[in-house]
């Protein structure tokens, strides 16, 4: 099953909108994520991420709810296996 996982933007690099990326924390696991699809995103925003791309900005309450559901469903194994 393919899911988008919520994460919090910790930092942003790059001025080119296509190459813009950021460090995103998924409950303590930090990954480098492409932010090209969310040019409005800024540090401390929550985004939904699928295969390394942030797809949209969401509020913190929704992010926490989705993260809690994913933990309950045991769907975070793939994210943890890819830990850097």
> Tens digit of pLDDT for each residue in 33-58?
999 999 999 999 999 999 999 999 99
- Cα 78 to Cα 11, 13, 48, 83: the distances in Å are 23, 25, 16, 9
- Cα 63 to Cα 9, 28, 80: the distances in Å are 12, 14, 18
Domain count of the chain?
1
pTM of the entire predicted model: 0.81
Q: Give residue 45's pLDDT.
A: 98
**Tokens for 71?**
């933990």
Residue 79's SS3 state is: helix
With cut-offs at 50, 70 and 90, classify the pLDDT of residue 83: very low
Give yes or no for residue 71 having a pLDDT over 90: no
Boundaries of domain holding 62: 5-81
CATH number, domain of 36, equals: 2.30.30.140
């Amino acid at each position: 099953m393919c899911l988008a996982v919520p994460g919090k933007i910790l930092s942003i690099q790059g001025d080119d909108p296509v190459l813009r990326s950021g460090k995103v924390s998924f409950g303590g696991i930090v990954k480098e994520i492409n932010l090209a699809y969310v040019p409005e995103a800024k540090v401390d925003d929550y985004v939904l991420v699928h295969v390394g791309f942030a797809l949209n900005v969401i509020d913190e309450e929704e992010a926490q709810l989705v993260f809690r559901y994913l933990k309950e469903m045991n769907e975070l194994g793939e994210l943890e296996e890819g830990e850097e």
